[in-house]
A = this chain, B = another copy of it.
Amino acid sequence: MIQVALFGAGRIGRIHAGNLVRQPGVRLKYVVDVHAGAAAEVAALHGASVASVDTVLADPAVKAVLIASSTDTHADLIVRAAAAGKAIFCEKPVDLTLERARAAAAAVKEAKVLCMIGFQRRYDPTFAAVKQRIAAGEIGTPEMLIVTSRDPGPPPVSYIQVSGGIFKDMLIHDFDIFRWILDDEAVSVHATGSCLVDPAIGAAGDLDCTAVTIRTAKGRLCQINTTRRAAYGYDQRFEVLGSAGMLQAGNHKPTEVTAYGAVNVSVDKPEDFFLERYRAAYASEMAHFFDAFAHGAALRTTVHDGLKALELAEAATVSWREQRIVQLS
């Protein structure tokens, strides 16, 4: 039985806890949260105990930790968990600064522990099928990637203020999709955007709509469009054009009902938000983590991936702020 501790008993921490306890041979031993009540609630649900970070890291029975606490704690917890020899699953992003993220990556490397970053989209059935079909050669050589990534509505401005900005908070996922799907690294980034949804977001120094273009070492092109507010819901699509065809990853819907009415023919809107859209992905990534832990399989999303996505987010932020094309080494 693999004993595990969870840091963070908020919304995403609860999702991970629920998926964790369904893994055969895995048990949730501890829950840690600055809000004692939240920790107690999640612990009670799964027969775990509330504990402190120190207790968890000092307990040799704990073989793995799940970091789902607030972003500013990620890098530090990675460093400490790595030093304690624990396998690590950490929610994205590694950190909001490249410096601290690199320190965390270095700690993982030195400790030679497993460290998986929760880029859950790579585990989505639709997205993973596209990746697998590209790998099987179905569309020849990938040439262009168009990513559409739209939230149903903006978070509170108080969140925006500590989010690191839209490129680090929201597009970090899209930058990871870009690297994964095109299997290539960026050589230049151009990012622009606007504040069209809520002036308060602009007042907080951020954007709410962006348009990003990336060119890769192999000359491949990627365009990403995002918004904090799509009136019709959560829109998560991408399409990959290759030399021999194209693959599109579409939205998932709650049901397959089609309605023929006096005005039009309609189907369901996409799944509401990330908890619904990526439900299967969250379950699958947890299985992947424990499978890698138990059987030594290679991780699909490493701390290196976390770093590279952050570098792109940083470059996009600079491109937008300085209104120039940013070259990457």
Interfacial residues, chain A to chain B (CB-CB below 8 A): 125-126, 129-130, 133, 138-141, 143-144, 146, 148, 150, 188, 190, 192-197, 209-211, 213, 215, 219-223, 225, 227, 229-233, 235, 241-252, 254-270, 323-325
| Max chain B Cβ within 10 angstroms of own Cβ: one of A138, A246, A270 | A246
Instruction: Point out the residue from B125, B138, B261 that lies within 8 Å of A255, measured CB to CB.
Output: B125
Given A192-B215, A245-B262, A263-B269, answer yes or no on A225-B138 (Cβ-Cβ < 8 Å).
Answer: no
Give Cα A148–Cα B256 distance, bound, in whole angstroms.
15
Q: How far apart are A275's CB and chain B's nearest CB, in angstroms? A: 17
Among the interface residues A220, A230, A241, A247, which one has the most CB atoms of the partner chain B within 10 A?
A: A241
* Pairs A–B under 8 Å by Cβ, sample size 23: A126-B256, A129-B255, A138-B259, A138-B261, A143-B194, A143-B196, A144-B211, A146-B146, A146-B148, A150-B241, A196-B243, A197-B243, A213-B213, A213-B223, A229-B243, A230-B246, A232-B265, A233-B260, A259-B264, A264-B266, A264-B267, A324-B325, A325-B325
**Known interface pairs A213-B190, A266-B265, A325-B324; A247-B259 also in contact (CB < 8 Å):** yes
Q: Which 4 A-B pairs have the closest CB atoms?
A: A194-B219, A232-B260, A250-B256, A266-B266
Contact flag A195-B219 (CB < 8 Å), given A249-B257, A267-B265: yes
- A246 lies within 8 A of B259 (CB): yes
Are B251 and A257 closer than 8 Å at their CB atoms? no
Chain B hits for A231, CB < 8 A? 139-140, 242-246, 260-262
Taken together as a complex, chains A and B put the C-alpha atoms of A254 and B258 apart, in Å, by 18
Q: Which residue of B lies closest to A192 (CB)?
A: B215
